[in-house]
Amino acid sequence: MTDLLGLLPEGAHAALAVWLAARGEPAYRAKQILPRLWQRPIASWDEATELPAALRHALGDAFPLRRLTLAARQVSSDGTEKFLWNLGDGEAIESVLIPEGKRRTLCISSQVGCALGCVFCATGRMGFRRNLSAAEIAGQVREVTLLAAALKPTNVVFMGMGEPLLNWEAVDTALTILNHPAALGIGARHITVSTVGILPSLAKFARRPEQFRLAVSLHAPTPELRRELMPIEKKYALPQVMAALGAFRRRVTLEYVLIAGKNDGRAQADRLVELARPLGALVNLLPLHPGGAPDLSPSSRAQMLEFERRLRQQGVEAVLRRSRGLDISAACGQLRVELEARRKVVPEEHARVE
């Protein structure tokens, strides 16, 4: 059976057109059906009451709408919402919705777990399970919209579970579904892909013509320190990553989690300036979420403000973000890991830190 939600709009339209013609249905039915996939999404074909009942039933047989199942939902006092979605094979992924004024940013996952083992990330402790399909990636936006139209995300960031550029083929398709006016219709400048710097896929991403945003998980200004925090440094070294960013045609954001006694000193700030200033990059300073790494400590508020000030004094645009969802399991992968531990079903090889 064809999964229309995993196809680009043109492909979905073509598949519907062939199927409708074989049934002897009028061609205009395809234009009635297509908006029900993403623009005005439905939970099941039965809800598409503008279509004849017989056609709705046939669509359900030929093109079942494969859904993500909501397994848990947590709401923070600051409005942040965390969703745990069950997939069809028993795996689960997370999304986080962050409201801020009129903006609703959904942080989505691209893999089940992650193979990279960054020491400050709960997902890294889970290990890698599998890649998500394009339908499962874009489906996170669709499912939140189905919960309530008022929750429909205005912005999407690939900063949930997994490394997006290690699942480039599915992410590439999902980006089009998220952005295409006949699909979810989110502006390219409102979609950000975050990566540790997977160079082959980064080059492919850079060749896309849309103005998608790029954020790079830096977290250390020297190869030595980055290797300590992020094992991927052994394969894609910081100098190579920075050279690739220098060739990127759009403004880059550098993500930097501040960890007490690790990467929050004056010397690290000055080295970060040397990386960010030539790029004209924005530096996002992020407090370490305590749920992401119980063995590490967040920098003090005073230390974070001093770090931010030192960057700005040297001509780097820096923004100190505030932690969201501190009263819920909002750290990346935290809810999934906590629920698995509670159920005592985590295989030993997935429980260790890589």
Q: Supply 126's token pair.
A: 């889970």
Query: How many CB atoms sit inside 10 A of residue 161's CB?
Result: 27
**Integer Cα distance of 66 and 252 in angstroms:** 35
Q: What's the number of CA atoms in the CB half-sphere (13 Å) around residue 9? A: 19
Is 121 known to be catalytic?
A: no
Catalytic residue (choose from 107, 114, 121, 332): 332
Alpha helices in the chain (DSSP H): 9-23, 29-33, 53-62, 122-126, 134-147, 168-179, 199-207, 223-229, 238-246, 266-279, 301-313, 334-343, 348-351
Q: Supply 56's token pair.
A: 């709705």
Secondary structure letter of residue 302 according to DSSP: H
Residue 117, CA distances (Å) to 128, 159, 215, 246 in order = 9, 15, 19, 26
Residues, the chain, total?
Answer: 354
Is 10 known to be catalytic?
A: no
Residue type, 135: A
Catalytic residue (choose from 25, 81, 94, 308): 94
Secondary structure letter of residue 67 according to DSSP: P
Q: Which residues are catalytic?
A: 94, 332
